[in-house]
A and B are shown apart, each in its own frame.
Chain A
Amino acid sequence: MEEAVRSTDLVKVYRGKETVEALKGVSISIKKGELFTLLGPNGAGKTTFLRIISTQLLPTSGEVHMFGFDVVKEAEEVRKHIAVVPQDVATYGTMTPWEYSYYFSLLRGMSKPEAKATAETALKAVGLWELKNRTCATLSGGEKKRAIIASALASNADILMLDEPTSGLDVVARRNVWAVLRELVERGKTILLTTHIMEEAEMVSDRLAIIHKGGVIAEGSPEQIKGLSRERFRVVVEGNLSNLGLKENGNHVAKFGSKNIVYVKDEAEALELVGKSLKSGLKAETAAITLEDVFVKLVGGVAE
């Protein structure tokens, strides 16, 4: 697969009252036609990375090439290939979804008939065609977000970059956005997404990179990332674990009040622990580990 984006040893240092090293040598490759996610906690450096590769921010050092063009030296060329939905983007209440998509298409250099056609396609793709002439002030949060995504989509850019597009949306609106993103990838678009929502990263990504404190600590498909964990199953046990003999086995346990997540190597061990728990009168259920479990282990989160 051809490369859409390649960053090499990308460093960004913000100098002010405090010096902050936001990116510490990030090297990432994004292939054409894939949905690549940058997953990380707040302040990890995701937005900084996205702003650099979308020509809004200069790096301190390192290189990024987008479709072969250098984002620093050939920004004008790069801008012909990209469309961005910034984090916490808002809409002007007096504008309609149609106006966003149509005028943004014109700014891409399209003729009026082309802009009309592409705006129509984009609004239909995000399911806003029926609401195209409603002002943004009257739309829900999810609809506003989709209006902005449509305006980026209408650009016909080769790569869409979306910075936490579902933050602040309810579950239904979030899933609508996911569906739109996957639909776009099926149509051949390349998408770079940033998120701190684990389920989102797991559900929509072809590949992802976990970014933490300015560096990439893992990269691969969601399954490959989950494979980084020695334990493949989790057992949620409610109650006191002291009679289950876990400490001797060296199991990793995350405690949340009376609820515990016990990580175990395989399904057989998980079922055995469920059985023991039930015999001891404790509630228990098991499932395969999630990306969130692995993420927390990798970034060193919950106490054992």
Chain B
Amino acid sequence: MNLKALKDVVTITTLKALPDLKRQPMMLLLVGLISALPLYFLVVLGGRINLGLIGAMVSAASFIGMSAAITDMSWDRYVKIREMVVAMPVHPMSYAMGVALAPLLLSTPSLVFFGVLALLVGGLTISSLLWAIVAVILCWASVSSIGFLISTYLQKATPYTLNSMSNVLGILLGFIPPVYYPEEILGSYSWVAAIFPTSNAASLIRVYSGSLALPFEAVLARWLILITTVVVFGTITAAKSRWREP
């Protein structure tokens, strides 16, 4: 990527994030509130809040990744901003990265808030912080690449359909697998956690913060699964998507 392409990523991120940040600041709260909802039940039902806070961080990143890749992309197509951008000297990768990064920027306050709380209640340790950041970023990248693939295949669907789909997938990926709760609850099926980018990332963070014990090979395998998800879905999307229509 050259300097112009990187500048374009920053411009598109700012263009997509700044107006919402300035004029719809409630969005910042909304991202956090959705991810914080399960924490309420954890507190009421006596669950482990320290594990739940890690889940909130991961699901916030996941929600935002899915929403950007599916909903934002489809709205850009709908309002035809994308057509205008295609006819500009802008690289498609710069556009995709800008679209994906803008909501991540909007979710940063929530991620920081949950992270600090997790540090305070012992869900995270200082030494595990870097691993946690890497895992959250990879989770966001995995879910985003899955979302981009979906929006590539469903180009003809309306933004309303895609919006519903992104919400459903966000809930499924964020709330159903062991993201807010420990994977040990699943017993012999705990390996399921490795399949979903969200639960995989949450488990990896728990390994580094000492609340989950996994053999070194299993940890390595889970990192590889997370990275492979990004690479595979990203590659298929890159191969299938068309900046210019055939």
Contact = CB atoms under 8 A, between A and B. Distances in A.
Contacts of B89: 76, 79-80, 107-109
Interface string A83-102: 11111111110111001000
Given A58-B245, A99-B19, A109-B4, A104 B80 contact: no
B211 to A, nearest CB: 41
Nearest to B95: A107
A136 B178 CA distance: 43
Interface range for A: 35 or more
Interface stretch (A1-9, A49-57, A236-244, A279-287): A49-57
B81 interface: yes
Interface stretch (B9-17, B163-171, B212-220): B9-17
Contacts of A106: 7, 11
A260 interface: no
Given A58-B244, A58-B246, A107-B8, A94 B24 contact: yes
B244 A56 contact: yes
A92 to B, nearest CB: 6
Nearest to A103: B15
Contact of B84 (A80, A88, A104): A104
B172 interface: no
Residue with the highest number of chain B CB atoms closer than 10 Å, among A55, A94, A151: A94
Contact of B87 (A82, A88, A94): A82
A75 interface: yes
A209 to B, nearest CB: 21
A231 to B, nearest CB: 41
A135 interface: yes
A152 interface: yes
B30 interface: no
A85 B11 CA distance: 20
Contacts of A57: 244-245
B88 A107 contact: yes
A83 B88 CA distance: 7
A156 interface: no
A277 interface: no
Contacts of B14: 103
B40 interface: no
Nearest to A155: B88
Given A83-B87, A103-B15, A88 B80 contact: yes
Given A99-B19, A103-B11, A107-B12, A55 B86 contact: yes
B78 A108 contact: no
A151 B80 contact: no
A82 B4 CA distance: 18
A83 B245 CA distance: 18
Contacts, number: 84
B23 A90 contact: no
A215 to B, nearest CB: 22
Interface in A198-212: none
A111 to B, nearest CB: 10
Contacts of A161: 87
B85 interface: yes
Contacts of B84: 83-86, 89, 104, 148, 151-152
Given A56-B244, A58-B246, A135 B23 contact: yes
Residue with the highest number of chain A CB atoms closer than 10 Å, among B80, B85, B245: B80
B11 A56 contact: no
B88 A104 contact: yes
A94 B83 contact: no
Nearest to A76: B89
Given A86-B80, A103-B11, A94 B245 contact: no
Interface in B55-90: 78-81, 83-90
Contacts of A85: 84
B95 to A, nearest CB: 9
A76 to B, nearest CB: 7
Nearest to B91: A76
A94 B23 contact: yes
Given A107-B85, A107-B90, 19 more contacts: A54-B87, A56-B86, A56-B87, A56-B245, A57-B245, A58-B246, A79-B90, A82-B87, A83-B87, A88-B80, A90-B80, A92-B79, A94-B22, A95-B15, A95-B19, A106-B11, A107-B88, A135-B19, A161-B87
Interface of B: 4, 7-8, 11-12, 14-15, 18-20, 22-24, 78-81, 83-90, 244-246
26 contacts: A55-B86, A55-B87, A55-B244, A56-B244, A57-B244, A58-B246, A76-B89, A86-B84, A87-B80, A88-B80, A89-B79, A89-B80, A89-B83, A90-B78, A90-B79, A92-B79, A94-B20, A94-B22, A94-B23, A94-B24, A96-B19, A99-B15, A104-B88, A107-B85, A107-B90, A108-B88
Interface of A: 51, 54-58, 75-76, 79-80, 82-92, 94-96, 99, 103-104, 106-109, 135, 148, 151-152, 155, 161
8 closest A-B pairs by CB: A90-B79, A84-B87, A103-B15, A94-B19, A86-B80, A86-B83, A89-B80, A106-B11
